A = this chain, B = another copy of it.
Amino acid sequence: MGRKVIDNPNVCSLVHAMNVIGNKWKPILIYLLANGSLRFGKLLMFTPTISKKVLTEQLRELEEDGIIIRKKYAEIPPRVEYSLSEKGKALLPILKSLSQWTQDSYNEIEFEACRIVTL
């Protein structure tokens, strides 16, 4: 079909960014951690409709990608605190501008009511 395949670092980086944050829960989780660390249980409470399994998965992936830091305390019952890394913090203004873009570009009626969490 004669397709051109040439390296484009900008596009590649963008694809990578989307792999890291572009799914249903990750941007929300990052936003929730914006104001400081939270325990697993709090993240679960503040992200209604997410399941334990999926929350665990998402947190693990964010940790692998260096966005968040997982701190486990040797206590019983267990305590685990999640917080943003420097990479993660660097994302915040970008997520904020994405959020702002929506508010500038669409009126409320255009995006279905979405009831999520605040701190």
Contact = CB atoms under 8 A, between A and B. Distances in A.
Interface of A: 1-24, 27-28, 31, 44-46, 48, 66, 87, 90-91, 93-106, 111, 113-118
A74 B13 CA distance: 38
Contact of A45 (B1, B104, B118): B1
Contacts of A117: 4-6, 8, 11
Contacts of A97: 93-94, 97
Contacts of A28: 11, 14-15
Contact of A99 (B14, B21, B45, B96): B14
A84 to B, nearest CB: 12
A82 B97 CA distance: 25
A114 to B, nearest CB: 4
Contact of A116 (B12, B23, B103): B12
B15 A116 contact: yes
